Amino acid sequence: MPYVTEDNLTDVVMERWKDIPDPRLRRIMQSLIRHLHGFVRDIEPTQAEWAAAIDWLTRTGKLCSEKRQEFVLASDVLGVSMLVDTINHRRPSAATPNTVEGPFHVPNAPAMADGGNMAQGAPGIPCFVTGKVHGLDGEPIAGAVLDLWQTDGEGLYEDQRDVKGPWMRGLYRTQADGSYVIRTVAPIAYTIPMDGTVGELMERTDISHMRPAHIHFAISAPGYHGLVTHLFQRGDEYIENDVVYAVKEPLIVDFVKRPPGKAPSGEMMATPFYEVKYDFVLAKRVEALAAAE
């Protein structure tokens, strides 16, 4: 083995890591070494900068717990979460696109009747989301499960509220014709958590730390590829610069303001409300695979 020099060090390390038995791990480690060495050669960090980077990573790890994942947040703001999501959800272009799940999904949301209100007692402007879930050939999908979660009208998720029991989430099922009716309140734009190491980094930039108003959906139906996505409010101030890069054009929807009167659920509203119409298009499992090839 040659003794190392600045010039040969990357090749020496690559040679050492070239015989890993697991071919996938070998490929990952060889690429990691190549890119990591390329990065260090590019920026030529001082010892103090390298120590600061290690300190940032250490403090980021220490912030992680059951309730908080600062590394995922770092991956989100660097666009890596969306890149991984996009690579893993290549779909026919007519299917509704996926986006990142984010950290606020809580399993076992309460089952809601069609038109049921998942925002009982929550602040915000009432909002009805209606539409159909169908396949790529237009076939209605009956019994599809829509798992929703979102902020209330003050921009807070269940995890951020001192509440017992479900808050701003619900499980709906489509009817025989694939239709659904959801009652909620309109979400508002909110900031990602800024009190950790990611916030510390963002504060040193002019990059927005806001997410535009959105509702999260996880939709599943037997025989179809599961869909995890959001619907975003058209016209939101942050729609062009979502801090986690999750906005895709087909997911931007109109929140139409309606005067008091009959709501899409059939109930009479004494105050103005929003109406959002959206049809979700799921790809059959085989169709999703064909697009990935």
Residue with smaller CB distance to ligand BEZ, 141 or 231: 231
Q: Which does 56 bind (CB under 5 to 8 A by kind): ligand BEZ, Fe ion, none?
A: none
The DSSP bridge pattern shows strands 268-269 and 256-258 to be unpaired
Calpha distance 59→112 (Å, rounded): 41
CB of 118 to ligand BEZ, least distance (A): 16
CB of 39 to ligand BEZ, least distance (A): 24
Residue with smaller CB distance to ligand BEZ, 74 or 141: 74
Find tokens 């996505």 and name the residue: 229
Residues 218 and 227 sit within 8 Å (Cβ to Cβ): yes
Calpha distance 104→222 (Å, rounded): 25
Q: Which does 244 bind (CB under 5 to 8 A by kind): Fe ion, ligand BEZ, none?
A: ligand BEZ
The pair of structure tokens assigned to 179 is: 């239709």
Q: Which does 227 bind (CB under 5 to 8 A by kind): Fe ion, ligand BEZ, none?
A: none
Task: Specify which residues 220 forms β-bridges with.
Answer: 145
Does 76 bind ligand BEZ (CB under 6 A)? Our answer is: yes
Task: Specify which residues 181 forms β-bridges with.
Answer: 130
Closest C-alpha to 278, from 89, 128, 141: 128
Residue with smaller CB distance to ligand BEZ, 79 or 103: 103
Kindly tell me which residue out of 211, 251, 274, 284 binds ligand BEZ, with binding defined by CB under 6 A: 211
Region from 32-40, 63-71, 101-109, 251-259 binding ligand BEZ, contact rule CB under 6 A: 101-109
Closest C-alpha to 209, from 182, 234, 184, 244: 244
DSSP, res 129: E
Q: Which residues within the stretch 99-128 sit at the binding site for Fe ion (CB under 5 A)? A: 102
What per-residue string of b and e applies to 72-83 under the rule 16 or more CB within 10 Å gives b? bbbbbbeeebbe
Q: Report the SS3 class of residue 136.
A: coil
Does 104 bind ligand BEZ (CB under 6 A)? Our answer is: yes
CB of 166 to ligand BEZ, least distance (A): 16
CB of 283 to ligand BEZ, least distance (A): 23
Does 189 bind ligand BEZ (CB under 6 A)? Our answer is: no
Does 135 bind ligand BEZ (CB under 6 A)? Our answer is: no
Does 152 bind ligand BEZ (CB under 6 A)? Our answer is: no
Closest C-alpha to 174, from 282, 260, 59, 95: 282
Does 79 bind ligand BEZ (CB under 6 A)? Our answer is: no
Chain-centroid distance of CA 138 in Å reads 26
CB of 83 to ligand BEZ, least distance (A): 14
# residues near ligand BEZ by CB under 6 A? 9
Does 192 bind ligand BEZ (CB under 6 A)? Our answer is: yes
Residue nearest to ligand BEZ (CB): 102
Range list of H helices, 123-274: 197-202
Residues 214 and 233 sit within 8 Å (Cβ to Cβ): yes
Give contact residues for Fe ion (rule: CB under 5 A): 102
Give contact residues for ligand BEZ (rule: CB under 6 A): 73, 76, 100, 102-104, 192, 211, 244
